Structure 1
Amino acid sequence: MPHYLGIDVGTSAVKAILVDERQAAVAEADVPLQVSRPRELWSEQDPEAWWQAVQSAVEGLRTQNPSALADIRGIGLSGQMHGAVLLDEAGRPLRPAILWNDGRSFGEAEELRHQHPELSHAMGVIPMPGFTAPKLLWLARHEPETFRAVRKVLLPKDYIRLKLTGSAMTEMSDAAGTWWLDEAARDWSDAALAATGLTRDHMGDLVEGSQPSGTVRPEVARQWGLRDDVVVAGGGGDAAAGAVGLGAIEDGSAFISLGTSGQLFVTTRDFSPAPEALVHSFCHAVPGRWFQMAAMLNGASCLAWAAGLLKADIGDLLRQTEAAYQAPSGLLFLPYLAGERTPHNDPHARGVFFGLSPETRQTDLVQAVLEGVAFSFADAKQCLAQAGTQLTHAGMIGGGSRSTFWTRIFASVLNVPLMRYEGSDKGPAFGAARLARLASTGEAPDVVCTTPKILETIEPDPRLVELYAPRVEAFRSLYRVLKPEFARM
């Protein structure tokens, strides 16, 4: 029986999943990763650490199900978007990769925005410091010797592709987040590349996410115990791969991804840019589809941060907070631990608890964190509405979706029904496995990318919808008041 391997190079972990031809998971593995923050606003990882984690994950799959691993026909790749992996002539990293939640190139992003206003429409969004293009402008000014040595700029998952196939390539959905891709043409933009001192020669070749990008190199195939004809699919950036895993490939399909970061994602049949609303309009991982997305830098990572601070287990905190929950919290939490993208484009924003008193309990803090993340998605919903997309319902995926309690908060804050799906926490890795199958078999995307079984639909609570509305407004007001202080920090 043929099997397919999906690999997701996340920020906090590499996740790998083996699925059979019925799309059932037969083995899964997670290998944790660490982020380095050597300076204020910086966020980096060593690309070699990704490769080592991938090798460890594959070894874990082999231990669980050696026969399935030996019979894989295709590998799909997904990963954190926007990261700058800078390679020399020999294909070696010149420095640690600069990640999506790195804010050092804020000035360069603003410069691109003001000097090249005509490009934002074609690129699908205004330039932001998390994107790849401003990072290269920063590099040219602050590390000029490294910039001059750059021969290829790859995205995180595509460094793994280079290790697997020997080819420097990417696909449309991940390239979309660089600010170098002409989204409508699904091709590199020479004008955008020139604005950052680069040419097409610095970029990988482009394929669609469901197309083959090469085959596994013989030495890797021998090491992993694979067949000699395993196809590596184009794959997808984590948001698009998550959509593929959820079957969100048709016009109007919507979901919330609550992982380390957060996304509110809606598939579109046409390219529908709305840069003025800070909405990302990007190519999807399947041909002939695009998506609109509001992207938040802080998702379930806020809960993990709070659990670490309180030295408590996340599951225990959620159970205790749910038991104590009666109404919206009197506290407010701004979840901007790593700055924010949508709707503020503010790398200087920081996390804030507001309203503490001697009576504040641990469960009050946790509830405020859960609500603060949900309030940031209310901002995201508002941005999509400004871009002409009304959210009427959505799926819920990512690690945060495992909590029914948190999903209920989200449903009432957003005032839309939310669906939790079977296997929804598998997210981008499962979508990558689907793309592996498409590249291997040539099947039509709608045959493979079906919607998983709905575990439950959570409707908004009318009483809580009414009570949460003024808290969302207070949340927005608190950011506006504090924004000048963030800039002075």
Structure 2
Amino acid sequence: MLSLGLDIGTTTITALAFDVVAMRVVAHAAALNDAACTPADKRAEGWAELDLDRAFDVALHALKQVVADLGSHAGRVHTIGVTGQMHGVAFLGRDLRPVRPAITWQDHRAQDMIPEFIVRAGGEGAFANMGCLPAAGYLGPTLYWLRRRDALPDAYACCIPDAIAAMLAAQPPVSDPTLAASTGLFDILHHRWDEALLNALEMPAHLLPPVVESGARVGHLQTGLAQRLGLPDHVVVGAALGDHQASLIGSRCDVPGQLHINIGTSGQVSLVVNHFAPAMAEHGIETRPFPGRRFILTGAALCGGDALALLRRFFADALVIFGAHVPDGDTMFAAMLTAAAGIPPGADGLRIWPTFDGARHRPGSSAAFTGLRRANFTPAHVIHATIEGIADELGAFYDAMHEAGFAGRSLAGAGNALRRNALLRQAVERRFGMPLHMPPWEAEAAVGAAILAARLNP
């Protein structure tokens, strides 16, 4: 049996076909997620919006390419699992069409209202069963910001992957605990929207979708799309789940005691646990739901692999200033890694804390350079220290988990930024003090979504 996996990522949309018996990827396609549609003036104010119709079209194109590669085996496809970026919000009308641009996890418009949001909710204690404190970019604070400005649409309000699954199945959106928990409004201990919290915030609960088990049946792929893609009409669409949890499943890292590092645009370190543990908000540690009524302790860095992308843009701007040729991004990135490889571990004392986008538990924080001296003030040292800083930020989260009595026995990795950067993998191994195991396939989140959809819909 084949199961399709679809990952609506921040920068890339990935589709693949996974053989759940042989446990291997048999077809794969990826496309740039070019659906960002934030006006320049609003982007400067920290807004981040997404044209959901465009993202859906890119997703369909990737799925169609995968199905074409399957050829006569397309008839073996039984399920489609969906995953993608967490926290943000999409708005669908009753006709399941977007009524306005989606607002992503990178959006900061609600930042100044977070203190008011928490006070109106009843203080930080009101979020004890959420597993996290609210932050800008989360669906809950974003809805609150819109409501306070009388700009909240009368439409389904769901996470972006939820909307994609609904559009595939032509069914009203549902959410799962992993995505619902990323809103800041969901009680992960009792698996329900927190009615008391919603009432205190005067939030319209009827806009939020029902919550079902991760991967549970949403419906069948709508007939018109099945024909367009070349798939049979019995394909089941599974409820979407967060890309974070999907990447753990796709990395085969779903057993308590397994430590997981995921570095893409952002970064996370996670530890699977059997029982609910209160969030360690002062250290930036959240408790998130995991399929099977389990939980994961998670520290999330807002700027993971994107720190190196930012550095690459810095070098490109410098070349423009000097009137030099600017190579393409891949060429520049390869040259950066080659230069950094000549620098010893520790970067001769240079340390970089790459919180260029702040941190959820310290939103006003900034990146920092320490130990900068004449001898290590070189591009190669800066690149190497940035790589080590990415590992250090995630390592600090794990230190807090360990001090609280939670220890990992093994270390698995996922994410393109980690897979494609040997120096980063080495830095992670040094920081965590254990070997890093990568799965034999890429696109771990899409694989995880495919596996879970097949498991829940045999």
Q: Which amino acid aligns with 2:139?
A: T
C-alpha displacement of 1:297: 0.7
8 Å contact kept, 1:207–1:234: yes
8 Å contact kept, 1:3–1:18: yes
User: 2:135 matched to 1:134?
Assistant: no
Structure 1 CA distance for aligned equivalents of residues 18 and 96 of structure 2: 31
User: 2:151 matched to 1:150?
Assistant: no
Structure 2 CA distance for aligned equivalents of residues 109 and 196 of structure 1: 12
User: 2:440 matched to 1:440?
Assistant: no
Unpaired stretches in structure 2, ≥5 consecutive residues:
317-330
Question: Residues 62, 230 of structure 1: CA spacing in aligned structure 2 closer, same or farther, 3 A cutoff?
Answer: closer
Question: Residues 182, 61 of structure 1: CA spacing in aligned structure 2 closer, same or farther, 3 A cutoff?
Answer: same
1:148-179 superposed Cα distances (whole Å, 9 cap, x missing partner): x3321110111111211122111111111111
Structure 1 CA distance for aligned equivalents of residues 91 and 78 of structure 2: 30
Q: Indicate the residue corresponding to 1:414 in structure 2.
A: 432
Larger mean Cα displacement after TM superposition, 232-241 or 92-101: 92-101
User: TM-score of the superposition, structure 1-length normalised?
Assistant: 0.83
Q: Indicate the residue corresponding to 1:280 in structure 2.
A: 286
Structure 2 CA distance for aligned equivalents of residues 282 and 359 of structure 1: 40
1:360-391 superposed Cα distances (whole Å, 9 cap, x missing partner): 33211211210121121122113323544234
Question: Residues 126, 242 of structure 1: CA spacing in aligned structure 2 closer, same or farther, 3 A cutoff?
Answer: same
1:287-333 superposed Cα distances (whole Å, 9 cap, x missing partner): 22111111111111111222233244323322331134354343332
Q: Indicate the residue corresponding to 1:244 in structure 2.
A: 249
Alignment counterpart, residue 266 of structure 1, candidates 268, 271, 275: 271
C-alpha displacement of 1:139: 0.9
User: 2:180 matched to 1:163?
Assistant: no
C-alpha displacement of 1:275: 4.4
Question: Residues 199, 359 of structure 1: CA spacing in aligned structure 2 closer, same or farther, 3 A cutoff?
Answer: closer
User: How many percent of aligned residue pairs carry the same amino acid?
Assistant: 25
8 Å contact kept, 2:79–2:457: yes
Alignment counterpart, residue 112 of structure 1, candidates 102, 113, 117: 117
Structure 1 CA distance for aligned equivalents of residues 141 and 256 of structure 2: 31
Q: Indicate the residue corresponding to 1:19 in structure 2.
A: 18
C-alpha displacement of 1:359: 6.5
**Cα RMSD, aligned residues only:** 2.2
User: 2:402 matched to 1:385?
Assistant: yes
1:321-361 superposed Cα distances (whole Å, 9 cap, x missing partner): 113435434333232232322xx331x44445553748633
Q: Which amino acid aligns with 1:28?
A: H
User: 2:191 matched to 1:173?
Assistant: no
User: TM-score of the superposition, structure 2-length normalised?
Assistant: 0.88
8 Å contact kept, 2:252–2:439: no
Question: Residues 228, 390 of structure 1: CA spacing in aligned structure 2 closer, same or farther, 3 A cutoff?
Answer: same
Q: Which amino acid aligns with 1:13?
A: T
C-alpha displacement of 1:46: 1.4
SS in 2 for 1:129: coil
Q: After the TM superposition, which residues 68-467 of structure 1 pair with which residues of structure 2 at under 5 Å, given as runs?
A: 68-115=73-120, 116-117=122-123, 118-142=125-149, 144=150, 146-147=151-152, 149-167=153-171, 168-277=173-282, 278-284=284-290, 286-311=291-316, 312-325=331-344, 327-341=346-360, 344-346=361-363, 348-353=364-369, 355=372, 357=374, 360-385=377-402, 387-402=404-419, 403-423=421-441, 425-441=442-458
Structure 2 CA distance for aligned equivalents of residues 199 and 183 of structure 1: 20
Structure 1 CA distance for aligned equivalents of residues 141 and 183 of structure 2: 9
1:62-94 superposed Cα distances (whole Å, 9 cap, x missing partner): 343233334310000000000111234443333
Structure 2 CA distance for aligned equivalents of residues 258 and 314 of structure 1: 16
Q: Which amino acid aligns with 1:27?
A: A
Unpaired stretches in structure 1, ≥5 consecutive residues:
442-489
Structure 2 CA distance for aligned equivalents of residues 26 and 124 of structure 1: 37
Structure 2 CA distance for aligned equivalents of residues 89 and 62 of structure 1: 30
Structure 2 CA distance for aligned equivalents of residues 356 and 225 of structure 1: 60
Structure 2 CA distance for aligned equivalents of residues 31 and 349 of structure 1: 33
Q: Indicate the residue corresponding to 2:33 in structure 1.
A: 33
1:383-441 superposed Cα distances (whole Å, 9 cap, x missing partner): 32354423454211111222332111122223344323322x32201101101211221
